[in-house]
Structure 1
């Protein structure tokens, strides 16, 4: 592998340059740079863990108040593996706290250390809120997907995330001193959840497509019970992460492998067929 392939695919959001210009004009350059460095280290924690597990990483998008690592993985990795990748970002903040404690014994200006400590603590705690796409929200989504079918878990995650986000925003506006940055960030997160709701079917299809393409390495097999009249999409909607499925057709004494259903959807383009159509196709 070439040296360039090991470099993280970092991209700076256009908003970053606007904030950087504003920081120069208002004398807040030091604060913005400290905040950006903390965010960068946080995302590098996710990146290094994902590279260790050989995830397919598309890019790391950074802006001043946060960032996101976009991957081609969609709920088909082992749960423990995904949990490690999610938690690797927050763990970085613990090392930053340790580094700041060490720098307190040096000639580093106290104002710089206090600013870095405050920003590090703020990002660390805020990122653990159970709001998607924060790491706390991703952990909630992971736990839900272990108990429920992937499509249902993702839908519940967005609803819960939006409710919590609205509650936190209301609390900030009523009980705390008004801060434009906090309100703006919460509004941004709620907007992201709105967009995620609109593309939830696309997310579900990505989950199915990657499962059909790369298979599942799960050792647990869970049956899905259906009748011959059950729609194919209803069967696919019951797929769960880290589980292999056998479709039991009640009243027909027949079994279907999940790959047969996936092939019917993606290869044969029969999105609106029923279980009876799949059985008929297998007889031909």
Structure 2
């Protein structure tokens, strides 16, 4: 009965690798604690997603974090995504108060309690680093998309993320000692960001498709001025989240033509006018 409320759980191969390392080094208790904390963290994301009726496909668990895989075609609002994102880190605050209370009641031994609270703090802080796809990276991405066009924000968060991974590894190695587990973790995150960088234009196309299928009207309108000789597909790189775009194509100082967002996106997806200049395309529409 309880299992019906849980999502499909997928254990990432990196967690299996860390499990083998933990077994060989006699650190199984630490691994169990970390896995339990990560599971509770992801269930926080999942519970918040269910409150907003998101279609959750699966939850991927790996060391020090996880990923909630949802339907990318869903019409999600930024506030909803933000609330689902912070629901994960909030679980660590509940865990802290719960473990502290259980320790005072004598339900948990002091040494085990200290170990749980140590890893709870470690996972909490680590997940708030500006690294994609950690929660800190996603939170930073929300702020970037509120200032910059979506495509530029994607490029910025990935560059910041890759630099942060390298910086984190160097600082950790300098303050402590070299650790194979940290190296593997950073390597996995860095390669994942490299893969996301290669897919950044696909991510923008998915974003445009969400705009095209949007069932609600944004509160603000963004007037986008573009020269008539701008390539049709280049206009899409200037689109923002949660704004209704009104495209003004400038032929000359006194000659402009306005194009609605829906009309542009329909042409983008249905007519495949990628390389034609937007000014030439609008001229073709005239009878």
Corresponding residue number in structure 2 for 1:234 = 234
Query: How far has the Cα of 1:152 moved from its partner?
Result: 0.5
Corresponding residue number in structure 2 for 1:146 = 146
- 1:27-176 matches, cutoff 5 A: 27-73=26-72, 77-104=76-103, 105-176=105-176
What TM-score comes out, normalization by structure 2 length? 0.90
Query: How far has the Cα of 1:228 moved from its partner?
Result: 2.2
Corresponding residue number in structure 2 for 1:256 = 259
Contact 1:76/1:242 (8 A) holds in 2: no
* Cα distance between partner residues in 2 of 1:151 and 1:254: 25
**1:202 paired to 2:202:** yes
CA shift digits 1:200-245 (9 cap, x unpaired): 1111111111211235531100011122221111111110001000
Residue 66 to residue 103, structure 1, CA distance change in 2 (3 Å): same
What TM-score comes out, normalization by structure 1 length? 0.91
Give the CA RMSD over aligned residues: 2.3
* Cα distance between partner residues in 1 of 2:195 and 2:3: 33
| Aligned partner of residue 267 in structure 1, secondary structure | helix
Residue 10 to residue 281, structure 1, CA distance change in 2 (3 Å): farther
* Cα distance between partner residues in 1 of 2:117 and 2:110: 10
Residue 182 to residue 3, structure 1, CA distance change in 2 (3 Å): closer
Contact 2:54/2:74 (8 A) holds in 1: no
**1:267 paired to 2:270:** yes
| Aligned partner of residue 271 in structure 2, secondary structure | coil
Contact 1:151/1:237 (8 A) holds in 2: yes
Residue 277 to residue 218, structure 1, CA distance change in 2 (3 Å): same
Contact 1:132/1:161 (8 A) holds in 2: yes
Which of 263, 276, 279 is residue 279 of structure 2 equivalent to? 276
Contact 2:96/2:117 (8 A) holds in 1: yes
* Cα distance between partner residues in 1 of 2:184 and 2:126: 14
| Aligned partner of residue 230 in structure 1, secondary structure | coil
Contact 2:11/2:60 (8 A) holds in 1: yes
Query: How far has the Cα of 1:75 moved from its partner?
Result: 10
